[in-house]
Chain A
């Protein structure tokens, strides 16, 4: 805490806006579609890390099942796209290919509504949100806290992952959902290498950052932070702590589900590996490295870590050692910057706030208040 400046809200807004401008003008300087696709993926990771920051950084809920929301969102989008794919063997009105291979005779009931894009997109957000609502209600009403919440969410992730892999006839199993048609919406085609896809993701991330900023600066956001500090004390001021915790978990799940849908667009498939423990743990690492108590910090943490990871693993010299280097980086950041890379920015003194402090000090002195302590 000491030696840090709490930046005023306008400074944050400028920072967030600058970030949005940068990600929006980046495609102007990139001619390589493959690189653009990679960047789009990093931005999706930024979005899902930002989502974790809402629950972990602000409300103190370390959700190790974040990949559940991400994966479910991804599958919702993939199911809609799979139904738009014309199967080679069975023709236009035929079943998706993997169902044919698994001797499924007719489309399972829960696949039916995914013929509609509107339904699929709503489901990609609502399914994770409703699941979070259920989990949150049970866990937080029972006053489960801290590491036990993490264990429960992690266990849930493992269970859902196993179910998805096991129900191959319905979910595509270990192979996931592949061979997807590109999303066509508003006359645009969102294939993985299209500029439209990149812009959709960049605009989504920007919008989510600003909406998230509005939430964490609202009174609800303040109560969430108070709960993170001392949840029992909040209770005795008359707030229903479980309701606030459940809200944080749901909002985080909704954003992560949306990120999952975007990830399907940028990868052109959905896989049980999206809905697995390594993804969940990666999200935690991204958020921790960037700064879990900052939405922008978490997003940038994801982009930086996955960016460095991508370039290291592409460089022949680091082919064998890149995971080691990433591990070392993580340890260094956690040891020396426990509030993440964003705390470096927080240390920059702003002319404005310094002036304000000086003015406040003289103002207080002239009022000659009593001095306690």
Chain B
């Protein structure tokens, strides 16, 4: 598939013909994907389909062997992770990673990356007027009482919430989430769905998820990946009735059981 002209689709994120290889193993084989501003896109697919690798390519953790990543009309394919982050890409990993020795408040201050320079930050103390914003965020995720608790002392669920708060503090244009509801209770999952629906529109989100119930709650359009390629794209109803998708999930109990 030849690379199409860049920036004709009006999408905030364009993946063009991305190929990723790990020592001979082709993790992604010619993936092309468009995501529009303010959209919440779910990325699903059987294990090994290349979903997480796709997120890794967007945020710069993995450099593709070929292909292009374009964010808001600018190519970011070869930039370093922190440069891509400065262009407005936020990432939540599958394994919750917060700064365990820092308090919840300090965690959020780190995420609030207004000026990334070493020397400038030497003369910045406290949270320079952002205190109210951080309190509001903490309230949004129910951590307002834990602001001065070390993040390492939080429960698993609270840690997930803190990570989401960090992404909000970072205020990225494009937020990449890898299985945000993993390990959450049904109640917490419902609350996360509510939060995501609020984020939609102001932020653009790409969510890798397995929980079809959750996906139905939040998603407009689903992209299905299979063997490193885009297999199908459409609404929940379209995807559930798609013959190719059924075939890809064959043997794993169908899409809802994956």
Binding site for B on A (CB under 8 A): 1-2, 6, 215, 217-220, 222-223, 225-226, 228-230, 232-241, 243-244, 247, 357, 360-361, 364, 367, 369-373
Residues in B whose Cβ lies below 8 Å from that of A228: 101
* Residue in A closest to B99 when the chains form the complex, CB atoms: A229
* Residue in B closest to A250 when the chains form the complex, CB atoms: B118
Task: Choose from B80, B101, B113 the contact partner of A237 (Cβ within 8 Å).
Answer: B113
Task: Choose from B113, B122, B139, B148 the contact partner of A239 (Cβ within 8 Å).
Answer: B113
- 5 new A-B contacts at CB < 8 Å, known A236-B81, A247-B119, A373-B161: A218-B123, A219-B125, A229-B100, A233-B99, A372-B143
Complex CA–CA separation, A207 to B144 (angstroms): 37
Known: A226-B102, A238-B116, A239-B82. A371 touches B122 (CB 8 A): no
Residues in A whose Cβ lies below 8 Å from that of B109: 219, 222
Q: Mark B146-179, 1 if CB is under 8 A from A, else 0.
A: 0010101111111001000010001000000000
By CB atoms of chain B within 10 A, which of A222, A238, A357 has the most? A238
Task: Give the residues from 28 to 43 in chain B that come closer than 8 angstroms, CB to CB, to chain A.
Answer: none
Complex CA–CA separation, A320 to B82 (angstroms): 55
Check if B125 sits within 8 Å of A371, measured CB to CB: no
Check if A369 sits within 8 Å of B91, measured CB to CB: no
Binding site for A on B (CB under 8 A): 59, 80-83, 85-86, 90-91, 93, 97-103, 106-107, 109-111, 113, 116-119, 121-125, 139, 141-145, 148, 150, 152-158, 161, 166, 170, 188, 191
Known: A220-B118, A222-B109, A372-B142. A241 touches B124 (CB 8 A): no
* Residue in A closest to B159 when the chains form the complex, CB atoms: A373
Task: Choose from B90, B107, B117 the contact partner of A236 (Cβ within 8 Å).
Answer: B90
Check if B85 sits within 8 Å of A236, measured CB to CB: yes
Q: How far is the CB of B4 from chain A (nearest CB, A)?
A: 29
* Residue in B closest to A241 when the chains form the complex, CB atoms: B82
Check if B99 sits within 8 Å of A226, measured CB to CB: yes
* Residue in B closest to A240 when the chains form the complex, CB atoms: B82
Task: List the 10 closest pairs (A to B, CB-CB), nearest first.
Answer: A372-B142, A238-B85, A219-B121, A373-B155, A373-B158, A229-B99, A219-B124, A364-B145, A220-B121, A373-B157
Task: Choose from B142, B145, B148, B150 the contact partner of A1 (Cβ within 8 Å).
Answer: B150
Residues in B whose Cβ lies below 8 Å from that of A226: 99, 102, 106-107, 110
Residues in A whose Cβ lies below 8 Å from that of B113: 237-239
Check if B106 sits within 8 Å of A222, measured CB to CB: yes
By CB atoms of chain A within 10 A, which of B122, B124, B143, B155 has the most? B122
Residues in B whose Cβ lies below 8 Å from that of A243: 117-118
Check if A234 sits within 8 Å of B152, measured CB to CB: no
Residues in B whose Cβ lies below 8 Å from that of A220: 118-119, 121-122, 124
Residues in B whose Cβ lies below 8 Å from that of A370: 142
Complex CA–CA separation, A217 to B109 (angstroms): 12
Residues in A whose Cβ lies below 8 Å from that of B122: 215, 218-220
Q: How far is the CB of B140 from chain A (nearest CB, A)?
A: 9
In the assembled complex, 26 residue pairs joining A and B whose CB atoms fall closer than 8 Å, in A order, are A6-B150, A217-B125, A219-B124, A225-B99, A225-B102, A230-B98, A233-B93, A234-B110, A236-B59, A236-B82, A236-B85, A236-B91, A237-B82, A238-B82, A238-B83, A238-B116, A240-B116, A240-B118, A243-B118, A244-B118, A247-B119, A369-B144, A372-B143, A372-B158, A372-B191, A373-B156
Complex CA–CA separation, A223 to B116 (angstroms): 10
Check if B82 sits within 8 Å of A367, measured CB to CB: no
